[in-house]
Chains A and B, each alone.
Chain A
Amino acid sequence: MEVTRQNFNHLDAVIDELHALFESWEQEDALLSHLDPNTIQLFRLAVHEWVANLVQHADFTDREPELVLDVIPNGQRVRCVIEDNSEGFAFPEQLDVQRSALTPFPERGMGLLMLNAATEYFEYSETDDGRRRPEFTV
């Protein structure tokens, strides 16, 4: 399966770059053409929520941020991997925290829950060289 890879280094611009990329993919009608329009939006939302979480909360210490987005079309679905060189966080535990702390109409703390709801499959791991590696399918 063909993998489309994009690299990002500037946290202050990454959200704009990401959405510009999605718009070009949608307009070109190529990479995401196998998906129905709602699935495309769910995919876009899932990627946005993860990267927004990185921009707001990730600790890159003194390293230049490196984000690598891989998009892999997969039948009627799309698989996505977003590697980064941040310190990372305990995803399953944080998801449980958000879930248990959820109050009606919360102002914060919905991001990971929304990401989880938007995806069919989600796995969070670490690569051999210490990079964080969420992988999900929409």
Chain B
Amino acid sequence: MQATTMNFLIEPITHDTIVIRVGKALDFRNAADFKAAAQEQVRNGIRSFVLDFTDTGILDSTGLGSIFSLYRQVSPMSGQVVFASVSRPVQVVVQLTRTYKVFRQFPSVEAAREALR
């Protein structure tokens, strides 16, 4: 079942894994909303996050910072944050900041879903 939290579509995969559809932009305008939505999921026991960047045309430094915040929160709890269906604008940021060393990437949400199930 899908749910929308603060403009981010969230889809459960297992009891502790979800997909967050990032949408058109994750930047300084909605990074706080993303952080709040992710924190709520962590409070609910979610530890692994698949971020779906299929439609994402903007990922800026503040948006990336909100993903780092989530990573810092879940990694001590053996959680993980992975990227799926990374669009070109997001890939450019990933390459520029070398965050490919931190966040595993999958060509599709389905591939990430299978890997994390």
List A residues at the B interface (Cβ < 8 Å): 15, 19, 23, 37-38, 41-42, 44-45, 48-49, 52, 55-56, 105-108, 110-111, 113-114, 117-118
Chain B residues, CB < 8 A from A37:
88
Chain A residues, CB < 8 A from B96:
42, 45, 114, 117-118
Chain B residues, CB < 8 A from A117:
96-97
Q: Is the CB of B71 within 8 A of A49?
A: no
* A107-B88 contact given A15-B27, A49-B61, A56-B28, CB 8 Å threshold: no
CA distance A41 to B90 in the complex (A): 9
CA distance A75 to B60 in the complex (A): 27
- Is B105 an interface residue, CB under 8 A from the partner? no
Contact of A45 among B28, B29, B60 (CB under 8 A): B60
CA distance A99 to B10 in the complex (A): 35
Chain A residues, CB < 8 A from B57:
19, 23
- Is B65 an interface residue, CB under 8 A from the partner? yes
- Is B72 an interface residue, CB under 8 A from the partner? yes
Chain B residues, CB < 8 A from A114:
60-61, 93, 96-97
Total A-B pairs, Cβ < 8 A: 61
A131 → chain B closest CB, angstroms? 23
Interface size on B, residues (CB 8 A): 22
A72 → chain B closest CB, angstroms? 21
Chain B residues, CB < 8 A from A106:
65, 68
CA distance A29 to B7 in the complex (A): 32
Q: Is the CB of A48 within 8 A of B66?
A: no
* A52-B62 contact given A15-B27, A45-B93, A105-B71, CB 8 Å threshold: yes
Contact of A52 among B60, B65, B68, B97 (CB under 8 A): B60
Chain A residues, CB < 8 A from B6:
none
The residue in chain B whose Cβ has the minimal distance to the Cβ of A56 is B28
CA distance A45 to B95 in the complex (A): 13
- Is B92 an interface residue, CB under 8 A from the partner? yes
12 A-B pairs within 8 Å (CB atoms) are namely: A45-B60, A49-B60, A52-B27, A52-B61, A55-B28, A56-B28, A107-B69, A108-B62, A114-B61, A114-B93, A117-B96, A118-B96
